[in-house]
Amino acid sequence: MEERMPLIGDKFPEISVQTTHGRKDLPKAYEGKWFVLFSHPADYTPVCTTEFVAFQKRWDEFQKLGCELIGMSIDQVFSHIKWVQWIKEKLDVEIKFPVIADDTGKVAGKLGLIHPGKGTNTVRAVFIVDPRGVMRAMLYYPQELGRNMDEIVRMVKALQVGEANKVAMPAGWPNNELVKDHVIIPPATDEKTAAERPKQYECFDWWFCHKKLG
């Protein structure tokens, strides 16, 4: 029986997983760090291969953000190992992140990764988890659509900046059409603060104020 899929703000489920880097207990293995867990439908498939290469190409960017990567699918671990070796031999890209082997489907069940209307393989899901083990963002893609890894890097960075500065992030940050690289000030919750806001920040109105970081 499948459990309720976790929601944004929930704790990441405690799961012991077999990976290409050995056994790991999640989220404990990444305690104190951000991590991105992403599922793919199957090894040795073209779109998934382009995604693994794309994630690896951005490995250094994720590392600079203190963020780990971990992939997964319902393939067995030996399939993951051989596929990762193939990527290195044929495409000259060494996959440095671990890949979960969920051949029992237990992890997929806990995380809600099997969507019956799209088949029996895991969909392309992305979970961004913070250092406290809390789900901060979730994305789902169908099997036929590869992900934009630059957006995932942007999301991790934006979540970190937003949390550190107690601000919200505009669309497309740091390249927003209205406020450019500014961040959004949380809305005022009383009349006095609302009246003061335009004196303190750049505002379109008292409820829509923004500022440059730094």
CA 172 – CA 175 distance, rounded (Å): 5
CB atoms within 10 A of CB 155: 18
In degrees and rounded to multiples of 5, residue 178 shows phi and psi of: -95, -45
Catalytic residue status for 67: no
CA 48 – CA 146 distance, rounded (Å): 7
The one-letter amino acid code at 128 reads I
C-alpha dihedral, 164 to 167 to 168 to 173, nearest 10°: -70
Within 13 A of 108's CA, how many CA atoms are on the CB side?
Answer: 23
Active site residues: 48
